[in-house]
Amino acid sequence: MRQPLVSSLNTVLRAASALLIGAGAALLSIAAVRAQSEPLVIAKQGYFFVGGHIDTSREGSPTVGHMYVEFQVPQKVAHPYPVVMIHGGSQTGTNFTGTPDGREGWAQYFLRRGYAVYVVDQVARGRAAQWSQANGPVTSANLARLEQRFVAPERFNLWPQAHLHTQWPGSGMPGDPSFDQFYASQFPSLADFPLQQALNRDAAVALLDRIGPAVLLIHSQSGAFVWPIADKRPSLVKAILAVEPNGPPAHDVDFKGAPDWFADNPHLKAYGLVDVPLTYDPPVTDAAPLKFMREDKPERPDYVRCWAQPEPARKLVNLRDTPILVVTSEASYHASYDHCTVRYLAQAGVKSTFLRLGDVGIHGNGHMMMLEKNSDAIAKVMVDWLDRALPGG
């Protein structure tokens, strides 16, 4: 009778443990809801435009190259440096000011933690109007790509990690309220990506010159802007929160599905991380361009093969003192290659902290993690890292 008794006791203990874990998760969820329901007291808010100029050479003399910025300052400011949030491709600042299912966004989370927050619309995007495509043509809508990469990658399995996606609110299909809200928020991007990099670099530099030192929180496409911004204003960029930054270095990746999964896009990024100039030592010139070599095999079968500089590698001297956090979710297409960006930075003398969300118990997220069901848990990880990276802040 002893063995059945022990087995029964183990069963009871496992059940009790599960109940305790479930109760703890429920308490955390209740605490998060309660925090969002408490009044968010704002001392000051407003908007302005930075960068750009009136171009009299174009029909109607439009303003071009300008960025829209809205800001909020909490009543209790607990940190000396504000957070500037720069969205990714086909998006606007609404990525950070709410979620498709009606919850508060990352902007409110950082405000509640005592940060002043600046949320931008990129140049020629959203409220930074582009008159008659003054900056060139824009991309077309692409419902299929949005479903494949952002909302429901698990239905398409174009990369090895896609099947892990579970965190999108709702069914992830047209007709679902959360899907329709998100799809309605999409906005055309400039077709010329190198031009986007130059325009947004210059506008964001103008923003920092106006507001002073800040933390930059970027996502996806704007990862191609953050390195040039920090390169131009290293003293004003106090830290970088790089949420799945544009990458990987040298060549973007085209996703094909099993069994081959990955192919290198033929376009070569002249400055490794980006198409626009970065300050390397020794300098990159037309006569002495960057060179790249591809690793013989990937670190893991579900990873891409990274590109790197041949040794001795040139150094990104203006980025080496900036605290950087690279955040990657479990199910995003970035899960297959963000390690390449981290390696490239390290080889160029730039230290960063690489955070795979799955390693800290945050599972099931895709690329649009700031809109997903557990978005507050991800924001908490970033804020906690900032508290450590900027002591006294």
Mind giving me the DSSP string for 333-365? GGGGTHHHHHHHHHHTT---EEEEGGGGT--S-
Q: How confident is the model at residue 274 (pLDDT cuts 50, 70, 90)?
A: very high
Domain boundaries, the chain: 1-38, 42-389
- Give the H or E element holding residue 196: helix 193-211
Would you identify the CATH topology of the domain 42-389? Rossmann fold (3.40.50)
Angle at CA of residue 247, ends 243 and 249, nearest 5°? 135
pLDDT of 281 over the 60 cut: yes
What does the mean pLDDT of the chain come to? 92
Given a cut of 90, whether residue 373 has pLDDT beyond it is yes
Over the stretch 225-265, which tens digit does the pLDDT of each residue have?
999 999 999 999 999 999 999 999 999 999 999 999 999 99
Of 13-22, 127-136, 370-379, give the lowest mean pLDDT range.
13-22
The catalytically annotated residue of 90, 178, 189, 220 is 220
Q: What is the pLDDT of residues 180-222, one digit of tens each?
A: 999 999 999 999 999 999 999 999 999 999 999 999 999 999 9
- Nearest-angstrom CA–CA distance, 216 and 156: 33
Give catalytic status of residue 375 as yes or no.
no
48 contacts: CB under 8 Å, gap ≥ 6: 69, 71
